[in-house]
């Protein structure tokens, strides 16, 4: 009895893949090695599948044609759904991937067997996908490449057919022009009073909308002149989700410029919800402020400042450039902005250098002379 169990156990073999899933393979009556048409969540599932194959062989119901057709029947749509459901992702990232799949990727690849996706098919899809939105296009290509890379690691396909150089990278389409101090002043004075401090903190403290919308009384220390950034609020699948910053660098204390402190104290008295957990910038009906509610009045304010190109998030860029102009080091900028890598902070230093050169040219212009070559 024990020998018969051992014999059954020796049919085929199972290995654990880097993804954590299990792959089953066996040598068929044709003397060739065959992989299962899919990978399995558990080793027990893989063993059960091998048992059914062995039973087919014993009943002489096995054929290499049936194995091939089953393997080819695994479509991209089926595999992509399983890939997405098996990933631990933040709600906002999952919603983004869901949107990319539904709108950009699945309309072309849903019913295509994985093994039939060729480099030519990928190039044809890329040539016509989201051509007017390069960032969205690069995200869609990156997701397709990632899913097919996993299929390659699972040995479901022989190689990843995504080989378009640079397709996963996008260049910034919106070139940010920082607001000048007079423009910022005009925007602030045009905004409703309850939102004026929000604009000022976005610029002078370089805060994101989600960080501002989740600020509470307990996060504001007017004696020390500090804002404690510990959380942010994001919207995903129609729900508002309060969560910690993506990295430890996002958890930070931001010093409030002294000229804003009287305005902060006044706002706490007039517009903030009561209690330690009261929101600093609540919606009129209470609860978190929706971006659309702010944008309706912000758009009018930026028009009054003759800056229709300025997005609310660009105020953070404005403040970062101003901080860089004061001589802030790269490390200081990273700390203030909550960046874990220096790449983004370097952008602000470069922008400040460009503006400093412009100031130097204007100073020279005052003398009525120019450099000669």
Catalytic residue among 26, 126, 195, 348: 348
Residue 317: active-site member: no
pLDDT band at 79 (very low <50, low <70, confident <90, very high): very high
Report whether pLDDT(315) > 70. yes
Report whether pLDDT(181) > 70. yes
When pLDDT is averaged across residues 223-248 and rounded to a whole number, the result is 84
Catalytic residue among 15, 300, 313, 350: 313
Residue 82: active-site member: no
Residue 34: active-site member: no
HSE value, Cβ hemisphere, 13 Å, CA-based, for 95 = 11
Decide yes or no: CATH 1.20.120 for domain 2-72: no
Neighbours of 20 (CB within 10 A): 9
Report whether pLDDT(358) > 70. no
Q: Supply the pLDDT for residue 77.
A: 93
Q: Supply the pLDDT for residue 296.
A: 93
Q: Which two tokens stand for residue 269?
A: 């008295």
pLDDT band at 220 (very low <50, low <70, confident <90, very high): very high
Rounded CA gap, 94 and 87, in Å?
Answer: 9
CATH architecture of the domain formed by 181-311:
Orthogonal Bundle (1.10)
Report whether pLDDT(293) > 80. yes
Catalytic residue among 267, 316, 317, 336: 316
Q: Supply the pLDDT for residue 71.
A: 47
Report whether pLDDT(187) > 80. yes
Catalytic residue among 115, 137, 196, 208: 208
What phi, psi does 107 have (nearest 5°)? -55, -30
This prediction's pTM: 0.58
Q: Supply the pLDDT for residue 52.
A: 84
Give the domain ranges of the chain: 2-72, 76-153, 181-311
Rounded CA gap, 287 and 239, in Å?
Answer: 13
Which tens digit of pLDDT belongs to each residue from 13-55? 898 887 788 888 888 887 777 888 777 888 888 888 888 888 8
Q: Supply the pLDDT for residue 69.
A: 46
When pLDDT is averaged across residues 224-237 and rounded to a whole number, the result is 87
What phi, psi does 243 have (nearest 5°)? -150, 165
Residue 288: active-site member: no
Q: Supply the pLDDT for residue 105.
A: 95
Report whether pLDDT(240) > 90. no
Rounded CA gap, 206 and 322, in Å?
Answer: 10
What contacts 223, CB < 8 A, 6 or more positions away?
none
When pLDDT is averaged across residues 4-8 and rounded to a whole number, the result is 42
Which runs of consecutive H residues, i.e. helices, occur in the chain?
Answer: 2-9, 43-58, 64-72, 76-85, 91-100, 106-109, 119-128, 134-153, 181-190, 193-204, 209-213, 261-270, 291-304, 314-325, 330-337, 342-367
């Amino acid at each position: 009895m024990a020998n018969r169990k051992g014999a059954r156990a020796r049919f085929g073999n199972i290995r654990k893949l880097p993804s954590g899933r299990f792959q089953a393979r066996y040598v068929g009556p044709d003397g060739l090695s065959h992989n299962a048409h899919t990978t399995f969540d558990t080793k027990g599932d893989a063993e059960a599948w091998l048992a059914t194959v062995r039973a087919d062989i014993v009943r002489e119901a096995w054929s290499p044609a049936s194995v091939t057709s089953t393997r080819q029947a695994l479509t991209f749509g089926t595999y992509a759904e399983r890939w997405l459901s098996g990933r631990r992702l933040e709600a906002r990232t999952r919603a983004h991937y869901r949107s990319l799949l539904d709108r950009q990727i699945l309309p072309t690849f849903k019913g295509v067997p994985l093994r039939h996706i060729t480099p030519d098919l990928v190039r044809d899809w890329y040539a016509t996908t989201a051509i007017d939105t390069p960032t969205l296009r690069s995200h869609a290509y990156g997701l397709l490449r990632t899913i097919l890379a996993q299929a390659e690691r699972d040995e479901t396909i022989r190689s990843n057919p995504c080989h378009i150089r640079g397709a996963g990278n996008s260049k910034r389409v919106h070139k940010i022009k920082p607001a000048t101090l007079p423009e910022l002043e005009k925007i602030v004075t045009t905004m409703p009073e309850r939102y004026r401090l929000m604009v000022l903190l976005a610029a002078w403290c370089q805060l994101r909308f989600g960080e501002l919308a989740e600020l509470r009384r307990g996060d504001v220390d007017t004696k020390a002149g500090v804002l404690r950034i510990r959380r942010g609020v994001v919207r995903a699948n129609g729900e508002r989700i309060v969560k910690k910053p993506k990295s430890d660098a996002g958890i930070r204390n931001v010093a409030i410029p002294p000229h804003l402190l009287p305005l902060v104290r006044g706002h706490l008295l007039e517009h903030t919800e009561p209690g330690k957990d009261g929101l600093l910038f609540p919606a009129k009906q209470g609860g978190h402020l929706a971006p659309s509610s702010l944008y309706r009045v912000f758009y009018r304010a930026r028009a009054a400042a003759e800056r229709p190109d300025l997005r609310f998030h660009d105020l953070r860029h404005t403040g970062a450039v101003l901080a860089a102009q004061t001589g802030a080091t790269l490390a200081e900028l990273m700390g203030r902005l909550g960046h874990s890598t220096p790449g983004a902070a370097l952008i602000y230093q470069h922008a400040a250098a460009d503006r400093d050169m412009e100031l130097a040219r204007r100073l020279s212009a005052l003398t009525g002379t120019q450099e000669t070559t």
